[in-house]
Chain A
Amino acid sequence: MLNRKVSFLYKVLSFTAVLVSFGSCREILEPPPVDLLVDDLVLRGPDDMDPVRIGLYNAVRSFGSATIFAGDFTPDYIQNNGTFTDYNELGTKQITAANTLASTLWGNIYSTIYIANFIDENIGKVSRVSQDEKDALVAQANFCRAYAYFIAAYSFGDVPKVTTTDVQTNRAIARAPQSEILALVREQYEAALEKLPERWDADNATLNKQFATKNAARAGLARYYLYQGEWANAEKMATDVINNKLQALDSSYVAVISTEFDAESIFEVAYGNTSSDDPGTSSTGLNNILVGRREVIPSNSYVAQLINVHAGTRTATISFSSANQQGRDNGWTVTKYGTPDQGNNNITIFRLAEMYLIRAEARAQQGKISGSSGALADVNVLRKRAKAPLASFTNQALALSTIETERLYELSFEGHRWYDLKRTGRLNAVMTAFSQNWNEKYKVWPIPVTEMQTNRNLKQNDGY
């Protein structure tokens, strides 16, 4: 009897043991993560260089559309036509600190800077990679940092200068003077210019335009000098880009609107031409906002200025459809940003035409109006390409006002207008005429409310 009992018990217990061991403790408690890379392993060996570089440009791309919201939606190019409050605030000039487009711009600028800083801090630890390759990655980090701070300084004014990846430091950081940020921009562009290649590949236009090259750094510096009023430097940098002929003006303006990696593009942030790498229906996707939802449409005053003989073929920047013309919708649509199927979902950051306009303005400011090295010649290069009547200004004032309009024809919806009007001091004059709600405080965007709430060392811009 006793024996039977014990053997029965034994059977039960061995059955249990089998059950218990069907999964070992360790396997159950420490499953390996999928789809994720633990941060210690991000930048260690040769295979890690390219993924991090892609991550860096991904971050720059992430504030591409917000730069256009700031540059073109804040001023007089658009009117509101939808239901998203964020765009309504931009369209009707009632911008608040709660506007999430401000935090999109701000956040992605700083995530770019974080990756650039991460590269600086970790590049020394990468093994089995040549110094040249390391220098090239650091130079791209310099370029992206410079561009990010440039947009930050001109969109928000004083902004924090983040120099480390340390969370504790960066979460309590205060704003640094705009001048200090701009000095950093110049230093970073110059460092980038030194180590970036002229081109990444002799034959592959895509690589040379989706990643920063020396010409991208020169273009960045040209724009920087223009904004700073350093006319001679601006002229020189623009000339360097124009003269080295690595880019050439597209023969037709249509290519600017509807082609990616076209001949004159210097640097553009790129989306794939599949819907898996496209902003799609994101609330900050340019095609979605301008074409799909029609949240904003070209303003009546903008349309009136652009639909003009002097714009030439550049009127194709917008198109009209009577089907859309209902209610407050004027029927006009911005065409510069397409769907993945249309193959023009990239956002151009620098292109050759801007270099001509920078040089024209720099020359005009230096009194160089006519002749082969005068402002007029540069403007007419673009007029010719647009099949428009040539310009014919003779004095500086006329030259500058012509260039301002020429920038509208050539560069509208590429993120320039607001910044241009600010640097020429024309912002209030133009905008007061455009909107009864305009307020001087809109010369800068508000610091996002979420930043104000989480970092007590930040001070809000005046008026917000």
Chain B
Amino acid sequence: MNRYFTLFLGVLSLLLFFSSGLMAQVRPIAGKVTLATDGSAVPGVTVVVKGSTAGTTTDANGNYTLNVPRGQQVIVYTFVGLEPQEITVGSGRSTVNVVMEESKTELSQVIVTGYSELQRRDVIGSIASVKNDRFKDLPITGFDQALQGQAAGVQVSQSSGTPGGGIAIRIRGNTSISASNRPLFIVDGTPVFDGSVTSRDFGGQNDNSLAVVNPNDIASIEVLKDASAKAIYGSRGANGVVIITTKRGRNNKTSVTADIQRGVVQLIGKPKLLNSTQLVELQRDAATAAGQNPDELGLIPGVTDLVNTDWVSEILRRGILQQYQLTASGGTEKTRFYFSGGVRDEEGVQLNNRFTRYTGALNLDHMVNHRLKFAANVNVSMTQNDRIKGDNFLDGVYSGAIKSLPYYSPYDEMGRLYVPNDPNYPDFPNFNPVGQALLPRFRTYGLKMIAGVSMDANLTKELVFRSKVSMDYNNGEEDQYEPSTTAIGGALPSAGGKGYGVYSTSTQYTLVNSNVFSYSKSIDDRHSLNALLGNEIIHTQARSSSVSGRMFPSNQFTYINSAGVVDQGGSFYAQSGLVSFFGEVKYDFKDKYLVGATLRTDGSSRFGQNRRFGYFPSVSAAWRLSEEAFLDKVKFLDDLKLRASYGFTGNERIGNFQYLGTWAAAVYNGNTGVGPNRLPNNNLQWERTNEINLGLDASMFENRLRLVAEVYRNLTDKLLYSEPIPLTTGYGSIQGNIGTVVNKGIEFSVSSDNLTGELKWSTDFNITRNLNNVKMLAKGDTLYRGYTASGVGATNAILAGQPLGTFWGLKFLGVDPATGNALYEDINGDGKISSEDGQVIGNAQPDFYGGLTNRISYKGFDLSILLHFMYGNKVLNLTKQSLLNAGEDIETNQEIAALRRWRKEGDVTDVPRYELGNTYNNYQSSRFVEDASFLRLKNVVVGYTLPARWVQRVWLQNARVFVTGTNLWTLKRYSGVDPEVSTLDGSTSAQGIDLYTLPQVKTIQGGITLSF
């Protein structure tokens, strides 16, 4: 450590050496800079005499004193995010007070990047920025939802309609097969845990730890997309970096804002299923075809179908969504604050499903003196999530309801729920989905704290040192009880039939310390140099425990204290660490030629002994053509910049101790021994992504039309994969860095202020095309992933020349009109259909995706409409493999499409004949792969801001009412309800599978915002 310390001191003294200045024949000018909107003082404004190097900055109170040469001079005031001002000062004037306005153009907006901030116009890298006004009215749970359709290169897919559920964000495609593909999320400088805190399986849908950060406390979200922007995050940067900046107080009078939102939530649609009569007829056909007597199977028309239950409607409801928030912000010259408290309560569309969140935020800034500033941020949130089993769970609620046989009923004639051991209880595999919703308790308590303190010391005018200690603390507790009236607690023999309870806790926290020197210097108004040098230590710990009990005295006893048998439990502990050093240099000449370079070195506990440290450099350059003389004549052009970057990033999220060869606990008759667990690999390392980005930024017609276009190529090699090896080795796989994935793409965004008068109309459009391709795998292997699939082994494959998320199966050629059997392609021509006839049958990656936002305002009225689209992606509809199963079993209801099944010779149809027990006609095949392209009316917001003269009478500063609708309309070709689902939440190799997954919900809500 000492060695690096010396390095710091060395660099420091070097930087100090630069910063000596010169004095001339001068007179003093003093004044104060304030903000036009609220009259507050603006500290940190750069004040220079035009054409000279003489300059200063305003202090904490906005005051400045500047020595200017004698005679008439022009003084220039600049500050990021504010319109620059030039004021001509006569020789007699000694006081100049300036009022500055917030800048109208995006180009001067502040962008937060890795460890620093800069103006949009100075960005060399590829950074998308989404400000709070884009999502403040939306009924979103987490900020990850806020990015959907808003930024080019950012693909956001919601895995299901479960509140507080998982969301997949992919920035410029999928880089990894088995390490995480989620970007790095940084909240106020703290890397935050983004996965699921809790460990219990709910059938595929996870909880989302990002849903606990209140989006209304967020000021802006920046997405870093290319190497020059994110290489400073080194081994964590390959999947992109999302930087979240929370709101902070300003130096002005205190303002208090209350937000009230209330709405209703319902499913966007329901599957179309058979009724009892149709199903009995179908099942009789299936039984007869299999040579069985349907009467003996109890399938008797007029008897069996006396009951007809619409199970999906039985388990659904219209949920109420409400959200309340109070914020106060303000400050004095020395101290500024922002605090907020909020509560959100969302009833899911499934009975008994509910997500409640309480959030609090406190951000404080304090200037000790002109040299020293302290800042603190605390974000706390507490959630209670009443969860519901779903997807790949037989005893799930929505999953149970769509497959349950309609000739059973949830309630008896007395209105009591049917429960296990009742004569009319459906039992395995259908149970009673209504009971499965109402009776168990699956409560997850979450606690997330993001807290940090930092100190900024202005060592000299040019050199700032910032040290920050922060933490991200996540705690999840699962309190679960399934009474004897449920599937697990009652019908499952191995649990004993008298209730089953689980209590588990998990804690995941990260401690971070970063120390950064930043240096900025401009010389002659021509050369501008910015540099930073820092180190960072990150320590992460995960702890968990769980205990389960069964055999409860009765269903009134629901905690494990009362359990008769407590014979399962566990605890676990893991830690990992990252030690890093990084630096950045940026230089621009006359704002015309910009160059930059970054380097980070990361040492990670996750890498093998031989590969402990990795180096991640990047270089970038930009050329502002609009500053060149030859473009002076192009009057409509305000700004035109070409930029390029090249560099390396990594992905270290490969799990702990993967490089060690290990044996783990193995049990035999209650005695514990050891069994082989994993093969060693000392060369295990981070995945490495080599990135090239070319971009063009243009702004024209007085900044009314702004374009950003980018092309990129990201090549990820050293892919981490647990390579499957034959079981004859005693192991199923070996960890290695074995393959290459390439993402190539084009992004295009255009923003236009179509009308700027009293009637304002602006349009934002973005579109992205990303081509993902597995370029190479070790030994040309094909890796099989996803679910096991009948007939071919697995639902997904990873193979060279195909994108990640490729579906595998037989190619369905249609239904043989002569026999009614499915026809599959016999690819190897051996005269039989076997697993060797498996082939690529589609993939989940879209050809392109994007969003279109239109915003119109007139007087107090405003309207905003977001359309989100995705095109060319496929869904593997495994729900259909059960709901259109060609008679494989008769335990599942079938969808309406089964009515067009093959019945007699000559029928031409796409649904094979039904024969009970026949698996051949239901093999995993392209019959279940469907076009999942969609165009969705994602958000509509209509608002009205009450005229100031009305509201001021009641002591209000501002009042706005609005109505928001989400997911109101979807254009799709998909035969299921919703193409935007993924049963394996977070999966890359098996994304885009619909297996009884709950569709998205549509929300309509009204809201009021009042400021005092």
Question: Which residues of A are interface residues toward B (Cβ below 8 A)?
Answer: 8-9, 12-13, 15-17, 19-25, 27-31, 33-40, 42, 50-59, 61, 80, 82-83, 85-86, 88-89, 91-92, 94, 96-98, 100, 103, 106-107, 110-111, 113-115, 117-118, 160, 162, 165, 167, 170-171, 173, 206, 210, 269-278, 280-281, 285, 287-288, 291-294, 323-324, 326-328, 339-341, 346, 436, 448-455, 458, 460, 464
B327-353 with Cβ < 8 A to chain A: none
Given that A16-B467, A115-B675 are known contacts, is A9 also in contact with B918, CB under 8 Å in the complex? no
> Per-position contact with A for B570-609: 1 when CB-CB < 8 Å, else 0?
0011111111000000000000000000000001110000
Kindly state whether residue B781 has any CB partner on chain A within 8 Å.
yes
CB pair A97 B834 closer than 8 Å: yes
| Contact indicator B679/A277 (Cβ below 8 Å) | no
B568:A451 contact, CB within 8 angstroms? no
Q: Is the CB of A275 within 8 A of B835?
A: no
Q: Which of A23, A55, A86 has the most B CB atoms < 10 Å from its CB?
A: A55
Do A167 and B725 form a contact, CB below 8 Å, given A61-B668, A327-B298?
Answer: yes
Give every chain A residue within 8 A of B669 (Cβ-Cβ). 206, 210, 270-272, 277, 346
CB atoms of B728 and A277 under 8 A apart: no
Q: Establish whether residues B662 and A97, one from each chain, have CB atoms under 8 Å apart when the complex forms.
A: no
| Residues of A close to B573: CB separation below 8 A | 34
Say yes or no: A454-B726 contact (C-beta < 8 A), given A29-B577, A54-B671, A274-B567.
yes
B657 within 8 Å of A by Cβ? yes
Interface presence of B523 (CB below 8 A)? no
Which residues of A are found within 8 Å of B604, using beta-carbon distances? Answer: 29
Report the minimal beta-carbon distance from B881 to chain A, rounded to whole angstroms.
Answer: 10
Closest Cβ–Cβ distance, residue A340 to chain B (whole Å): 7
- Does B724 sit at the interface, judged by CB under 8 A? yes
A406 → B minimal CB distance (Å): 30
Q: Mark B661-682, 1 if CB is under 8 A from A, else 0.
A: 1111111111111111101100
Residues of B within 8 A of A24 (CB): 1
A residues in contact with B660, CB < 8 Å: 33, 36, 38
Closest to A268 in B: B669
Q: Smallest Cβ distance from A109 to chain B, in angstroms?
A: 9
Contact B494 A278 (CB under 8 A): yes
Q: Given A55-B673, A115-B675, does the pair A19, B513 have CB atoms closer than 8 Å?
A: yes
Chain B residue numbers with a CB within 8 Å of A324 are 427
Q: With both chains docked as a complex, state the minimum distance between the C-beta of A88 and any C-beta of chain B, in angstroms.
A: 6
B513–A453 contact, CB under 8 A? no
CA distance A451 to B725 in the complex (A): 8
Closest to B915 in A: A92
Q: Is the CB of A82 within 8 A of B567?
A: no
Q: Which residue of B lies closest to A49 (CB)?
A: B673
Asked if A272 and B667 make an inter-chain contact with CB atoms under 8 angstroms apart, the answer reads yes
Contacts of B879-936 to chain A: CB distance below 8 A? 882, 888-892, 916-920
Determine whether the beta carbon of B728 is less than 8 Å from that of A52.
no
- Report Cα–Cα, A13/B577, bound state, in Å: 24
Q: Is B225 an interface residue (CB 8 A)?
A: no
Instruction: List the B residue with the shortest CB-CB distance to A436.
Output: B291
- Inter-subunit contact A28/B423 (CB<8 Å): no
Complex interface: chain A residues within 8 A of B657 (CB): 33, 36
The answer to whether B467 and A19 have CB atoms under 8 Å apart is yes
Tell me the B456-493 residues at the A interface (CB within 8 Å). Answer: 457, 459, 465, 467, 469, 491-493
Least Cβ distance of A41 to chain B in Å?
9
Contacts A12-B465, A276-B567 given; does A51 touch B674 at CB 8 Å: yes
* Contact (Cβ within 8 A) A110 B727: yes
A259-B596 Cα distance, complex, nearest whole Å: 76
Contacts A20-B515, A28-B578, A270-B669 known; A170 to B729 CB distance under 8 Å?
A: yes
Q: A38 to B661, alpha carbons, bound, how many Å?
A: 6
Q: Does B790 contact A (CB under 8 A)?
A: yes
Chain B hits for A294, CB < 8 A: 428
Please measure, in the bound complex, the distance between the C-alpha atom of A12 and the C-alpha atom of B463, giving whole angstroms: 13
A-B contact list, 14 entries, CB within 8 Å: A25-B1, A28-B577, A29-B605, A35-B665, A36-B663, A39-B680, A61-B668, A83-B882, A85-B788, A92-B919, A94-B919, A97-B835, A327-B297, A454-B725
Q: Closest residue of chain B to A162, judged by CB? A: B728
Query: Is there an interface contact between B429 and A83, defined as CB atoms closer than 8 Å?
Result: yes
B496 at the interface (CB under 8 A from A): yes
Interface: B125 (CB within 8 A): no
A19 with B469: in contact, given A36-B663, A54-B671 (CB under 8 Å)?
Answer: yes
Partner of B667, one of A206, A275, A277, A340: A277
A115 to B371, CA, bound (A): 67
Per the bound structure, the CA–CA distance linking A118 and B675 in Å amounts to 11
> In chain A, what residue has the closest Cβ to B421?
A323
- B792: interface (CB < 8 Å): yes
The answer for the CA separation of A6 and B5 in the assembled complex, in Å, is 17
Q: How far does the alpha carbon of A12 sit from the alpha carbon of B8 in the complex, in Å?
A: 13
> B782 at interface (Cβ–Cβ under 8 A)?
yes
Q: Which of B486-541 contact A (CB under 8 A)?
A: 491-496, 511, 513, 515, 535, 537, 539
B565 within 8 A of A: yes
8 additional contacts (CB under 8 A) given A98-B788, A339-B496: A51-B672, A85-B888, A115-B730, A170-B730, A173-B726, A281-B492, A292-B493, A327-B297
Also in contact, A340 and B891, with CB within 8 A (given A33-B657, A51-B673, A96-B834): no
Q: Mark B603-629, 1 if CB is under 8 A from A, else 0.
A: 111000000100000000000000000
Q: A115-B675, A171-B729, A275-B567 are in contact. Are A20 and B835 (CB under 8 A)?
A: no
- Cβ contact within 8 Å between B493 and A114: no
Q: A25-B579, A54-B673, A451-B727 are in contact. Are A37 and B662 (CB under 8 A)?
A: yes
CB within 8 Å for A58 and B673 given contacts A33-B662, A167-B679 = yes
Distance to closest chain A CB from B96 (angstroms): 28
Q: Given A54-B672, A272-B669 in contact, is the A42-B513 Cβ separation under 8 Å?
A: no
The answer to whether the Cβ of B14 comes within 8 Å of any Cβ in the partner chain is: no
Q: Which one, A17, A106, A288, A328, contacts B494 given CB within 8 A? A: A288
Which residues of A are found within 8 Å of B9, using beta-carbon distances? 13
Q: Is B72 an interface residue (CB 8 A)?
A: no
Contacts of B465 in A (CB 8 A): 12, 16
Across-interface contacts of A165 in B (CB, < 8 A): 730
With both chains docked as a complex, state the minimum distance between the C-beta of A39 and any C-beta of chain B, in angstroms: 4
Please report the C-alpha to C-alpha distance between residue A278 and residue B734 in the assembled complex, in whole angstroms: 28
Residues of B contacting A9 with CB < 8 Å? 459
Assembly CA distance A242 to B919 (angstroms): 46
Which residues from A are CB-within-8-Å of B427?
Answer: 324
A340: chain B residues at CB < 8 Å are 494, 567
* Given known contacts A114-B730, A449-B835, A98 and B495 CB-to-CB distance under 8 angstroms: no
CA distance A47 to B604 in the complex (A): 33
**Contact assessment for B674 and A31 in the assembled complex, using a CB-CB cutoff below 8 Å:** no
A167 CA / B511 CA spacing, docked (Å): 40
Residues of chain A with a CB closer than 8 A to B672's CB: 51, 54
What separation, in Å, do the CA atoms of A291 and B788 have in the docked complex?
A: 23
Q: Are A293 and B727 in contact (CB-based, < 8 A)?
A: no
Assess the B423–A327 pair: CB atoms within 8 A.
Answer: no
Q: Tell me, rounded to whole Å, the shortest Cβ–Cβ distance linking A336 to chain B.
A: 14
Chain A nearest Cβ from B283, distance in angstroms: 9
Task: For residue A293, give the distance in angstroms from its CB to the closest CB of chain B.
Answer: 5
Please state if A36 and B567 are interface contacts (CB–CB under 8 Å). no
Interface: B183 (CB within 8 A): no
- Contact check, A20 vs B1: say whether CB atoms are below 8 A apart: yes
Chain A residues with Cβ under 8 A from B882's Cβ?
A: 83
In the bound complex, what is the Cα–Cα distance between A273 and B331 (angstroms)? Answer: 66
B276-324 residues with Cβ-Cβ distance < 8 A to A are 287, 291-292, 297-299
Q: Whole-angstrom distance between the alpha carbons of A192 and B725 in the complex? A: 30
